[in-house]
Structure 1
Amino acid sequence: MSRFLPFIGRQYEDSIYGARVMILGLSHYGDPEDAYPEFTRDVIDENAYSPGNRFFTLLTNLLRLSKDAPDDTERRAAWEQVAFYNYIQDIVGITSRISPTPEMWDEARQPF
């Protein structure tokens, strides 16, 4: 069961990479009320398009094949080429470094 809709960039179908690229993350962290369908898309909007989140900056640089700090335009351009989906479809906990439960792993297989 998918609880969170994937983020799909506007250029995903016709990406500069010559193939569709999906970034598969592990899970979301936050409050239980964050478990709404648009949460993944909101996380991308709030974190991938501007500096400040190390995880998304590293992914942006990987997509750009660059170690230079991207500006906001470069960030947006990189993320418009890809899709992003978290495998575990539950809020795992308030902070990172909390492992998904065995039940969460079992449920995550269902969409596949």
Structure 2
Amino acid sequence: MTRENPPRATDKFDDDDYPAYTMGRAAEMIGSTPAFLRAVGEARLIVPLRSAGGHRRYSRYQLRIAARARELVDQGTPIDAACRIVILEDQLEEAQRLNEELRSNAAEPGRRG
């Protein structure tokens, strides 16, 4: 009988969804301001988790999304439009991934679908 390994504290460093970054650090990492992060939060592009003290905390995945929106805003796109574009890009990427997965499964010999 094997026993599962208990989670290690360092496992959180590899988790793209772990809310590791404070607002100030997150803004610094993507080259924006805390106000920009609040704005993309208000546009519902990303929804930061809250610490026990009520402070916003961001994951690496959320920062990548916010950074993409920032690129669009820097190119002159209004923030609401930038958020909508990023959401649509994310949905398209997911649909393409699922499509490829379905094609791979259908191409496997002996699979019935």
TM-score, normalised to structure 2, is 0.26
Higher fraction of strand: 1
Higher helix share: 2
